[in-house]
């Protein structure tokens, strides 16, 4: 079926991006956003879907699925606007920090980062849903922008000093220009984790490498206005000093984050009308499958493949999204909240939710999905909260916690797959 092909394409996007040069972003954005009236590339195939037995026997629920999908488009737009507001507020806080570097402004910037990042993570499911309706080319553009906004893990020593290496990173490499074009060129040029842009580069700049030692002091962002005699003798200029370069790096990276998020919004806005037309011409059965596949893809890619499986295999540096701010649990909570809102809050004019549609199709979904979902939320939040301060290999107890979270998420995905089977029987 067509939805299986879309699912496979989406789950392979991460591998595709690893083989793509960063320069492809400009081309993809130009191609993806230049024609606002173009139909999504996959619409012609969904138009020809024959209604299933479900549609013939349950026209009301089928119509509800379409109405919910159109309501969900409104939610996506609302959440993108809110995330944009939070990101711009964060940008303002960075302006305050660079204007006056003190503990109060540093803490305000940290809190603004947490708020902006959580707001962005709330849109995670939206991107998985949109990718199935945008067509392959625009889906790739979406994922490329995502790579620039929120890639993790990062290599902290590629950015700034870490314990034992006081002169490491781009901050201390005066041969690297710290303008927008240079940071874009440096982003992922040699390795997918050698990144210079996005939330997690900024996270490390704000929090530093805190492994039980003193966190980054606000003094790291003090403007240095005079050279010492030794610096003059060594031929340094003010703009080459680490403090001044760190301040500039932070400001440029933040401005670029705002720019990239606006590019994401522009891509969405350019294709929104086409997506609406695609939903109108897609059967209720196919929309239900797209919803189920979007949820499964998000849980699989974001949590199982990127985090829990590496953690279980001992790759701790690759398993935690926000180790410097120790806020991975916040990001995961936002991702799961987006899924829960889609199921329970989006509804038709007569009050039908997607949860009711799914439950009418599958008794197992109705009976077991939320048991596993609620348990997985508690399991994941506890796991990431504890994991942030665990720098050694997992104990047997920790391994059991990881396996428990994996099993709960796998059960949720299985119920989604069972729902699709019940739908088409």
**Rounded average pLDDT per 10-residue block, the chain, 425 residues:** 39 39 36 40 44 70 94 96 98 98 98 98 96 88 95 95 92 96 94 95 91 78 96 95 98 98 96 93 92 96 96 87 93 97 94 93 89 94 72 68 96 92 77
pLDDT value of residue 15? 38
Burial of 182 (0-12, 13-18, 19+ CB in 10 A): middle
Residue 43 domain-assigned (yes or no): no
Count CB neighbours of 115 within 10 A.
18
Contacts of 190 (CB under 8 A, 6+ apart): none
Query: With contact defined as beta carbons under 8 Å apart, do 75 and 341 qualify?
Result: yes
pLDDT reported for residue 43: 38
Enumerate helices (H) and strands (E) in the chain, giving the number of each. Answer: 19, 0
Distance of CA 332 to the CA centre of its chain: 10
- Joined together, the tokens standing for residue 181 give 């074009």
CA distance 198 to 95: 17
Q: Which domain holds residue 176?
A: 2-32+51-424
Q: Please state, in angstroms and rounded to a whole number, the distance separating the CA atoms of residues 15 and 344.
A: 33
CATH of the domain at 101: 1.20.1420.20
pLDDT of residue 63: 92
On whether residue 85 sits in a domain, the answer given is yes
Say if CB 138 and CB 266 are below 8 A apart: no
- Domain assignment present for residue 18? The answer is yes
Q: Buried b / exposed e across 375-408, counting CB within 10 Å, b at 16+?
A: bbbebbbebbeebbeeeeebeeebeebbebbbeb
Beta bridge partners of 162: 165
Establish if 45 belongs to a structural domain: no
pTM: 0.86
Residue 50: what pLDDT? 54
Written in H, E and C, the secondary structure of 194-251 is CCCCCHHHHHHHHHCCCCCCCCCCHHHHCCCCCCCHHHHHCCCCHHHCHHHHHHHHHH
pLDDT of residue 185: 94
- Cα separation, 22 vs 252, whole angstroms: 18
What pLDDT does 56 receive? 59
Give domain status of residue 76, yes or no: yes
Please check whether residue 38 lies inside any domain of the structure.
no
Total domains in the fold of the chain:
1
List the structure tokens of 384.
């990431």
Predicted pLDDT of residue 194: 94
| 37 inside domain | no
The per-residue pLDDT for 13 is 41
Q: For residue 265, how far is the Cα from the chain centroid?
A: 14
Q: Could you report how far apart the first and last alpha carbons of the chain are, in Å?
A: 14
pLDDT of residue 57: 61
- Is there a domain that residue 329 lies in? yes
- Structure confidence by residue, pLDDT tens digits, 153-204: 999 999 999 988 999 999 999 999 999 999 999 999 989 999 999 999 999 9
Tokens of 144: 């490329």
């Amino acid at each position: 079926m067509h939805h299986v092909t879309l699912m496979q394409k989406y789950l392979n996007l991460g591998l595709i991006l690893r083989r793509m040069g960063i320069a492809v972003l400009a081309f993809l954005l130009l191609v993806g956003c230049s024609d606002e009236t173009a139909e999504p590339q996959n619409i012609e195939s969904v138009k020809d879907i024959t209604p299933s037995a479900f549609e013939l026997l349950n026209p009301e629920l089928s119509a509800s699925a379409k109405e919910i999908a159109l309501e969900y488009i409104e939610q996506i737009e609302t959440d993108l606007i809110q995330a944009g507001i939070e990101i711009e507020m964060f940008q303002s806080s960075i302006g305050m920090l660079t204007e006056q570097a003190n503990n109060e402004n540093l803490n305000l910037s940290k809190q603004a980062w947490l708020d902006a990042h959580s707001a962005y993570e709330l849109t995670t499911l939206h991107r998985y849903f949109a990718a199935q309706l945008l067509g392959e080319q625009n889906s790739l553009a979406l994922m490329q922008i995502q790579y620039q906004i929120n890639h993790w893990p990062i290599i902290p020593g590629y950015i700034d000093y870490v314990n034992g290496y006081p002169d490491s990173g781009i901050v201390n490499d005066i041969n690297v220009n710290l303008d927008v074009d240079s940071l874009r060129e440096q982003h992922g040029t040699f390795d997918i984790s050698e990144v210079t842009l996005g939330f997690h580069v900024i996270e490390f700049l704000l929090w530093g490498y805190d492994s039980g030692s003193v966190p980054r002091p606000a003094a790291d962002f003090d403007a240095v206005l005079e050279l010492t005699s030794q610096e003059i003798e060594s031929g340094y200029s003010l703009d080459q000093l680490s403090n001044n370069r760190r301040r500039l790096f932070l400001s440029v990276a933040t401005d670029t984050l705002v720019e990239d998020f606006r590019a994401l919004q522009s891509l969405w806005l350019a294709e929104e009308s086409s997506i609406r037309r695609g939903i109108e011409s897609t059967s209720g059965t196919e929309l239900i499958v797209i919803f189920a596949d979007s949820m499964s893809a998000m849980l699989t890619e974001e949590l199982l493949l990127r985090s829990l499986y590496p953690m279980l295999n001992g790759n701790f540096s690759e398993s935690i999204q926000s180790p410097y701010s120790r806020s991975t649990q916040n990001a995961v909570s936002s991702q799961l909240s987006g899924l829960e809102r889609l199921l329970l809050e989006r509804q038709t004019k007569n009050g039908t939710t997607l949860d009711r549609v799914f439950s009418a199709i599958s008794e197992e979904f109705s009976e077991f999905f939320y048991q596993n979902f609620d348990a997985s939320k508690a399991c994941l939040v506890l796991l990431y909260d504890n994991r942030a301060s665990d720098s050694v290999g997992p104990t047997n107890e920790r391994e059991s916690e990881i396996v428990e979270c994996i099993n709960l998420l796998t059960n949720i995905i299985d119920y989604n797959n069972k729902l699709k089977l019940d739908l088409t029987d």
